[in-house]
Amino acid sequence: MDRCIRTRFAPSPTGYMHIGNLRTALYEYLIAKSQGGKFILRIEDTDQGRLVEGATDVIYKTLEMTGLKHDEGPDIGGEYGPYVQSERMGMYMDYAKQLVEKGEAYYCFCTKERLESLKESNAEGAAFAKYDRHCLGLSAEEVQAKLDAGEPFVIRQKMPDSGTTAFHDVVYGDITVENAELDDQILMKADGFPTYNFANVVDDHLMNITHVVRGSEYLSSTPKYNLLYQAFGWEAPVYVHLPAVMRDAHHKLSKRHGDKSFEDLVNEGYLVEAIVNYIALLGWSPADNTEIFSLKELEETFDIAGLSKSPSIFDIKKLTWMNGEYMKAMDFEKFFTLAEPKLAAALEGTDVDLRKIAALLQKRLETWNDIPAMVGFFKELPEYGTELYTHKKMKTNDEIALASLEAAVPVLEGLADWNETAIHDALIALAGKMEIKNGQLLWPVRTALSGEPTSPGGAIELADILGKEETLRRMQKGIAMLKG
C-alpha cells in the first residue's frame, strides 16, 4: 500500500486506561511512526450508556504522559474531523440508507419482545440466536408506511446467504468464514446512534485509515467489516489483531479482578518510560534480544513482522526489574528531582542529607514507592533483635559484634572531622589493629545504625549521613542490647 500510513487509537471514554488498551495505542503509534505515517486519536462515544465523566481527560493525560503524541484528534483538529463520534452523528444514517438503497441493508421494525422470544426459542441458547430476517421481506410500501407511522426501527446489514468471506490479518494470517454463520448485524440503533461495528468502518474509511489495530476478540467481527467495505466499494484497511494480555495462563487482565491499570502502576511508583518499554514487549519481539528501549528507539526499531499471535502474560516482577534498570541508568540530577518528594515526606523532621541518601538508593531502588520502607530507619531506629548481628558470610556473631562495637565507639568519638573518608580510614585501621576482617567490624556497626537486615548503604555511608551524635547513640544502644 503506497499511500501514507495512517493508524488510529479509538478508545471509548469508559474509565481508566487498562494495559491492553495502552498496548494497542502504543502499537498503532509505532506502526505509523516507524514508517513516517500519522497517528490519529478518535473518541468513540456512541455507546452513551457506558460513558464515564472525566474518562476522556484520562485518555488525553495518558497519551501525553507516555509520549504517544497524536497528529490529529479532538483537541488539535485535522482535515478529517470531527474526531468525536457523537459529533459526526449526521452522516451515519445517510451511509446506512445508502446500503439500504443498494440492497445491502434493510429496515427492521421488530420489537424487543419479539427478539427476546427468538433467543428463548433457540435451543442452543441466547448466545447462538440469529435474527430470522422477519423484516427482510417487507415491501418498499410496507417499510414506508411503518416509517410514516413513526414506528421505531433499526437498520440491519444483509449478509450473503451462501459462500465464504476471507480476509488477511498481519498477525493471524488468512482467515475464511462461512457466510451462513454471520448474523444480520444492526448498523443503526433505534435511538439513531450507529453501532460500534458500523461507525468504526465509516470513520476509518472517511479518515483514510490504512491500518486497523485492535484486540483479537474482534477477529470474529472482521468478516462483517469486510463485507461493509465491499458493499460500499471501499478499500479495506490492513488488519492487525493482537492477542490478549493475560494475568496468567488462563485469565485475561481485568480491572474487576484487581489487575493494574496504567494509572495504578504510575501511582505505585513505576516510571512511565519503563511501563511503555515493558508493554511494547508484550506481544512484540525485536530482531535481537534487546529489552531496554526508549520510545525513540522503539520508533526506529519497531517492525510489524515482530508481532506474535501468542497471548502475553503480564509479569509484574519483570516490569519491576525493568523499572529498576531505568532508575540505575537515570541521570542523577533527574533521579534526585523525582525521588526528593518521597524522601522529604518519609524523613520529615530530620536534617539528614537527602542527596546522599538518594545516591545510595539509586542502584538499589525498584519503584518510587519503595523509598519510605528503605529509608525509615534514618528517622527512627526500628525495634530489632540481636540475631541481626549474626551473619554467616561476614563471620560475625553476638560476641564478635559486641567486641567490635565497643572498640569502634571510642575511635569514632575521637574523630575531629566527620565525613566518609575519615570514618572509613578510622574503622579500617581499627579492623587491622584488632586483626579481624573488615566485615566483622563493619557489619555490626551497620546493623547498629540501621536496625535492619539490609540497608541502602554500609556502615561508613550510614554513619556519615546520621552524623556523629546519632551514630554514637545508636551504637551504644546496640552495645546495651548485646550485653542483654
Q: Which residues are tagged catalytic?
A: 255
Residue with cell 518510587: 368
Total residues belonging to the chain: 484
Q: Which residues of 130-156 are buried (b: 16+ CB within 10 A; e: fewer)?
A: ebeeebeebeeeebeebeeeeeebbbb
CA distance 187 to 169: 23
Question: All 3 cell numbers of residue 219?
Answer: 477477529
Q: Outline where DSSP puts E strands in 50-159.
A: 105-108, 154-157
β-pairing, 211-215 vs 238-242, is: parallel
CA distance 76 to 42: 11
What single-letter amino acid sits at 429?
A: A
Cβ atoms of 165 and 155 closer than 8 Å? no
Residue with cell 540475631: 387
- Nearest residue to 194 (alpha-carbon basis) of 274, 293, 90: 90
Beta bridge partners of 134: none
- Nearest residue to 61 (alpha-carbon basis) of 30, 25, 20: 25
CA distance 238 to 169: 7
Cβ atoms of 344 and 354 closer than 8 Å? yes
